[in-house]
């Protein structure tokens, strides 16, 4: 598909790409679950969550909504449907998914919900995965996340030893002007490599940002031999190709691929 070719090209050049979701009905469904859990009715838009929820209670309310999202039957396939063709294009037909769907909420002026400069790969994530980040509200400016393009991220990575004493905050200040605060409207999604530096800052806009994210990787891509970031703990099976079913059932015809 021409669209997927453009996304692949952008991902390779910048380390991330923004595109329209493939299943708006499912996105609307996921947003409604969050709205219901946060007690956001039709009289209040989700980006005005701060008018109903205080900063002091936001984490407890977020955890409640997170639990409701992960109770949805088949939530993995639903989330996958938002970017199914591009995920298969990038990873192939044999895919595992992170075992939990994550939820982030950034209220205006909330100092407790910031996530400093980091790469997921430096935190132990597989360099072979992709992260699908989907806002449930329009994300822009300081209420969105920032990301560094591939060339700058790699340059920053090469400077890590120089900043061991001063820390990541100092590295961020050094490269602050290169940070791209992404504009991702509701109905669009962001896909990025875990090797890209990214994070967020205090939301100084007048709108709340609510977003969900999850990771996907090829079922057969390398993974750590130890630790929790492995299939069966951090990841679970999502899709299996016919040839993989044939191969794995060669010695065990009763093997099951059901959830």
Residue 158 belongs to domain with CATH number = 2.60.120.620
Length of the chain: 259
Residue 259 lies in a domain: no
> pLDDT per residue over 133-160, tens digit each?
999 999 999 999 999 999 999 999 999 9
Burial class (CB in 10 A: 0-12, 13-18, 19+), 234: buried
Instruction: Read off the tokens for 15.
Output: 């380390």
Mean pLDDT of 99-107: 97
- Phi, psi of 211, deg, nearest 5: -145, 160
Residue 250: pLDDT band (50, 70, 90) is confident
Residue 254 lies in a domain: no
> Which pLDDT does position 226 carry in this prediction?
64
> Which pLDDT does position 256 carry in this prediction?
62
Number of folded domains that form the chain? 1
Angle at 132 between CA 194 and CA 215, to 5 degrees: 60
The domain containing residue 14 runs over which residues?
2-248
> Which pLDDT does position 30 carry in this prediction?
98
Angle at 158 between CA 134 and CA 9, to 5 degrees: 40
Residue 210 lies in a domain: yes
Residue 219 lies in a domain: yes
Instruction: Read off the tokens for 203.
Output: 């939301």
Residue 256 lies in a domain: no
In angstroms, the CA 219 to CA 136 distance is 28
> Which pLDDT does position 99 carry in this prediction?
96
pTM above 0.85, yes or no: yes
Helix axes 24-37, 58-71, angle to 10 degrees: 130
Does the pLDDT of residue 2 top 80, yes or no? no
Does the pLDDT of residue 245 top 90, yes or no? no
Residue 237 lies in a domain: yes
Mean pLDDT of 102-124: 94
> Which pLDDT does position 236 carry in this prediction?
93
Residue 248: pLDDT band (50, 70, 90) is confident
Which of 44-48, 91-95, 117-121, 230-234 comes out lowest in average pLDDT?
230-234
107 contacts: CB under 8 Å, gap ≥ 6: 49, 50, 53, 55, 58, 113, 203, 208
Give the three-state DSSP class for 154.
helix
> Which pLDDT does position 213 carry in this prediction?
98
Q: Count CA within 13 A, CB hemisphere, residue 99.
A: 9
> Which pLDDT does position 254 carry in this prediction?
63
253 contacts: CB under 8 Å, gap ≥ 6: none
> Which pLDDT does position 203 carry in this prediction?
97
Residue 255 lies in a domain: no
Residue 99 lies in a domain: yes
Residue 227: pLDDT band (50, 70, 90) is low
Quote the longest CA-to-CA distance of the chain. Answer: 60
Mean pLDDT of 27-39: 97
> Which pLDDT does position 193 carry in this prediction?
98
């Amino acid at each position: 598909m021409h669209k997927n070719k453009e996304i692949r090209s952008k991902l390779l050049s910048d380390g991330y790409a923004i595109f329209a979701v493939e299943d708006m009905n499912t996105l609307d469904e996921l947003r409604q679950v969050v709205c219901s859990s946060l007690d956001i009715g039709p009289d209040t838009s989700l980006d005005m969550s701060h008018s109903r929820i205080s900063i002091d209670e936001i984490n407890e309310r977020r955890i409640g909504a997170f639990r409701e999202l992960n109770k949805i039957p088949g939530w993995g396939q639903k989330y996958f449907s938002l970017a199914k063709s591009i995920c298969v294009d990038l990873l192939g037909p044999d895919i595992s998914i992170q075992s939990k769907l994550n939820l982030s909420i950034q209220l205006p002026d909330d100092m407790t919900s910031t996530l400093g400069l980091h790469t997921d790969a430096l935190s132990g994530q597989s360099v072979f995965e992709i992260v699908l980040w989907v806002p449930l509200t329009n994300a822009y400016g300081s209420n969105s996340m920032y990301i560094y393009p591939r060339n700058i991220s790699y340059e920053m990575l090469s400077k890590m030893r120089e900043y061991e004493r001063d820390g990541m905050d100092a590295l961020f200040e050094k490269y602050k002007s290169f940070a791209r605060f992404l504009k991702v409207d509701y109905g669009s999604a962001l896909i990025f490599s875990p090797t890209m530096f990214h994070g967020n800052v205090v939301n100084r806009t007048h709108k709340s940002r609510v977003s969900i994210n999850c990771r996907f990787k090829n079922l057969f891509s390398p993974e750590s031999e130890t630790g929790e970031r492995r299939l069966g703990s951090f990841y679970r099976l999502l899709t299996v190709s016919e040839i993989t079913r044939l191969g794995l059932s060669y010695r065990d015809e009763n093997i099951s691929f059901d959830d």
